[in-house]
Amino acid sequence: VHQSRELQEGGLTISTVLEIAKERNIELPLMQTLFDILSRRKSPQAFVDLLTGRDTETAIPVTKKRARLDLVTSGKALGQALQDRILRQISSTRGMQARIKKQSGHVISSLEKRIQKAESRRLKNDAANFRQELELWRGLANAPEESETLHLDQIVSFYVSNIADSYVPVIRGTLMNIIAPFRFLLGGFQRGSVAPVIGGPVQEIRRLANLYPVFYAPTHKTHIDSVELAYALYLSRLPLPRFAAASILMSNPIWGKFLKSMGAYSVDRENTRNILYLETLTQYSILMLEAGIPALAYPEGTRSRTGAFQGIKTGLLSTAVDAFRSSGQEIIVVPMAISHRWTPEDLEFNNLKRNTSFMQFVNRRRKVYLDFGRPILISNHIKSSDPTTAVSDAILNSWRRNFRVQPHFILARLLTENKGSLEVKEAEKAIAQFVQTHRLNYQTTDPAKILKKGRRALKSRKLIRDDRNKLLSTQPAMLEYYGRMIPELD
């Protein structure tokens, strides 16, 4: 019973009863236990324990992938199943349909403004798309109660069509093979010039990925992270994920079709306050995981502009927890720590340049390290009072342990802490003390090598200069930025 896909439907029904009972201060222990079992918060043994008065600690059962759909299935192929699920979710959730209709006025007003903005910028495709969406929402706003479901179905169908990828495996594989030699050439034929230098339990992840759906959770420092991730996974023979792309990139029909065939699904970041759109996007992510299709999201949400890790946005991770609860399949979350020698946008982030050109992305891309953390099993955290937060904490701790600390990060940190000046003869001693007191994943732990490599790297960007027997900072903001790359352990 616990392996059934339909358990959550029963859970939703019971949740309405529990909600009414809570409003009236009525306790329903049997209903609460059934809800916890159906939503996979507890093992089925909890029902027996309730009846017998025992307290048995039993693991929640998990299942494996039902099929290798991740190899061939596109999001569009799951469109009808997604529509049906969203409509069931709306009808089963108390007051949700009324809230959606109540919001229609706000959505209509927002769309009218977006049409004007698109027309002023001569974005014809965007304007046409917004007009189509506007007509659908006007239909819902004016619909009598008995026909609301029909209009909701039409809006959901529109959103599913806009969001869903149309993945064609051969296109992504061919493109990566074509680009690889150029990356090797631009990288000076060095190790790590095609794909990052990879560390971590790759074989263990590969084994688990054959059994369970995967949710990749990488750090995010630069726009080129997605490219590095793709090559690292491809050459590690790990399943490639579907990925989110801003809807503005999809507005050109040719470019949009190409991105979707590569496995991109569209995210309209200006529409995430729209209840129905957000529900469609969330259920799309959940259904893809249930189908065994790998997912990737940057838990930090946006690129770090400070060099340090940002707080994790739990909304992105909740889909992995929800996919486990709705399907019973184990979901493995794979933390990934990416360490770039240089961040292409570093001058931009430190207000030393207005923006970063395409050629600067190409020229500043040097050796990259990508370290996988140990896989996190959702089932190990599902009994927590807040499973998503528990998984977030595990990801952040993994990033801190596995992020590759490069020599120039250490030297930048020491120079910053010493007000931009460091005696050369004292530098090795300071480095040795730093490495000893900070248990991290270092590129090298040899103080002499750290000083030599770090000094050479920082001088190559003119961030420091020699002054007799001292190293002096010439770009304090940049040194502080790279010094903050070093993780702070709790």
Instruction: With beta carbons less than 8 A apart as the criterion, state whether 392 and 351 touch.
Output: no
The residue that leads in pLDDT, 74 or 379, is 379
Q: Would you state the pLDDT for residue 254?
A: 78
Comparing C-alpha atoms, which of 489, 488, 480 is closest to residue 307? 480
Question: How far is it, in rounded angstroms, from Cα 325 to Cα 137?
Answer: 32
Distance of CA 33 to the CA centre of its chain: 32
Q: What is the pLDDT of residues 133-161, one digit of tens each?
A: 999 999 999 999 999 999 999 999 999 99
pLDDT score recorded for residue 259: 76
Give residue 356's pLDDT: 78
Distances (CA, A) of 308 to 22, 258, 335, 483: 43, 34, 16, 9
Give the span between the Cα atoms of 162 and 128, in whole angstroms: 13
d(CA 216, CA 403): 15
Task: Evaluate whether 285 touches 266 at the Cβ level (below 8 Å).
Answer: no
Find tokens 């040097």 and name the residue: 366
Given a cut of 90, is residue 244 above it in pLDDT? no
Instruction: Tell me the H-state helices in 236-337.
Output: 253-261, 275-290, 314-327
**pLDDT at residue 2 above 50?**
no
Over residues 447-467, mean pLDDT? 95
In sign, the C-alpha dihedral spanning 259, 261, 263, 267 is positive
- Note the residue count of the chain: 490
Q: What are the pLDDT digits (tens) for 75-128?
A: 666 778 888 888 888 888 888 999 999 999 999 999 999 999 999 988 888 999
Q: Tell me: pLDDT of 72 over 70.
A: no
Looking at residues 326-349, what average pLDDT do you find? 91
Rounded CA-CA distance 107/273 in Å is 9
* 297 vs 103 pLDDT, higher one: 103
CA 206 – CA 158 distance, rounded (Å) = 36
Rounded to whole angstroms, how far apart are CA atoms 312 and 303? 12
Nearest CA among 153, 160, 155, 125 for reference residue 137: 155
Q: Is 27 exposed, middle or buried (0-12, 13-18, 19+ CB in 10 A)?
A: exposed
Query: What pLDDT is stored for residue 71 in this prediction?
Result: 45
Q: What's residue 23's pLDDT?
A: 82
Distances (CA, A) of 209 to 216, 247, 394: 11, 29, 19
- Residue 277 clears pLDDT 90, i.e. is over it: yes
Exposure letters 473-485 (e unless 16+ CB within 10 A, then b): bebeebbbbbbbb
Q: What is the pLDDT of residue 194?
A: 57
Work out the burial of residue 264: count CB atoms within 10 Å of its CB; fewer than 13 is exposed, 13-18 middle, 19 or more buried. buried
Q: What is the pLDDT of residue 401?
A: 96
What pLDDT was estimated at residue 3?
43
The enclosing H or E element of 35 equals: helix 29-38
pLDDT of 395 reads 97
Residue bearing the bigger pLDDT, 382 or 140: 140
Residues 358, 367: Cα–Cα separation, whole Å: 18
Distance CA 22, CA 32 (A): 11
Q: Which of 329, 303, 293 is nearest to 215 (CA)?
A: 293
- For the chain, the average pLDDT equals 85
In one letter, which amino acid is 271?
N
pLDDT in the model for residue 14: 74
Confidence of residue 13 (pLDDT cuts 50, 70, 90): low
Domains defined for the chain, CATH in brackets: 7-59 (no CATH), 76-162 (no CATH), 169-403 (3.40.1130.10), 407-483 (1.10.10)
Task: Please indicate, yes or no, whether the overall pTM of this predicted structure exceeds 0.95.
Answer: no
Instruction: Provide mean pLDDT across the span 407-427.
Output: 95
Q: Are 418 and 431 in contact (CB under 8 A)?
A: no
